[in-house]
Chains A and B, each alone.
Chain A
Amino acid sequence: MMNVGNATERMLREQYSGTPSNPNENIMFAVSSFAARSIGQDSIDVILKDATRTIHRLFDFQFVAISLRDRDDVFRYKVQLGLTAESEKKYFDITYTPSDLFDDTSFPSTSVSEITRFYMAENAPYKEDELGSYARPTHLADKRPRADDMVEGDYIDIYIRDWKNEVIGYFEVASTRGKKLPTRDAIRWLELIATLLGMMISKK
Chain B
Amino acid sequence: MERKAKDMGQEKLLLRMYSSGSETDDEEFLGGIRNFLDRIKATGETMDAMLHEAAIYIAAFTQFKEISIGVKGHDGMFRYSALVGYNKEAEAARRKTSFSLKDLTDISVYRPQRFCRTSLFYLSEKKSYPAGSENTFNKPNLLGTPRQRAEDMVEGDYIEIHLVGKNREMLGWIEVSGPIMGKLPKRDSVMELEFFASCLALVLSRAL
Contacts and interface: CB of A to CB of B under 8 A. Distances in A.
A108 interface: yes
A196 B37 contact: yes
B187 A204 contact: no
Given A2-B146, A165-B41, A13 B115 contact: yes
B33 A192 contact: yes
Given A4-B146, A13-B115, A31 B195 contact: yes
B106 to A, nearest CB: 19
A113 B19 contact: yes
Interface stretch (B62-70, B85-93, B197-205): B197-205
A8 interface: yes
Contacts of A113: 18-19
B57 to A, nearest CB: 14
A123 B187 contact: no
Contacts of A9: 113, 121, 123
B122 to A, nearest CB: 11
Given A122-B7, A196-B199, A187 B18 contact: yes
Interface residues of B, number: 64
Interface of B is mostly: helix
Q: Which of B38, B165, B202 has the most CB of A within 10 A?
A: B202
A36 interface: yes
B11 interface: yes
Given A123-B5, A199-B202, A199-B203, A110 B14 contact: yes
B113 A147 contact: no
A172 to B, nearest CB: 17
A25 B193 CA distance: 12
B31 A195 contact: no
Contact of B201 (A13, A39, A189): A39
Contacts of B205: 39-40
A145 interface: no
A112 interface: yes
Interface string B1-30: 111111101110111011100001011001
Contacts of A188: 26-27, 30-31, 34
A29 B148 CA distance: 34
A189 to B, nearest CB: 6
A18 B116 contact: yes
A28 interface: yes
Contacts of A71: none
Contacts of A1: 123, 125-126
A24 B26 contact: yes
A163 B202 CA distance: 13
B27 A8 contact: no
B30 A189 contact: yes
A68 interface: no
Contact of A204 (B152, B192, B207): B207
11 contacts: A4-B147, A17-B187, A36-B202, A39-B165, A108-B5, A163-B41, A184-B27, A188-B27, A199-B202, A199-B203, A204-B206
Which 10 residue pairs spanning A and B have beta carbons closest together?
A40-B166, A5-B125, A7-B150, A122-B7, A32-B198, A112-B18, A18-B117, A16-B115, A12-B115, A188-B30
Given A108-B4, A188-B26, 8 more contacts: A2-B146, A5-B124, A16-B187, A17-B187, A164-B41, A188-B30, A191-B31, A204-B207
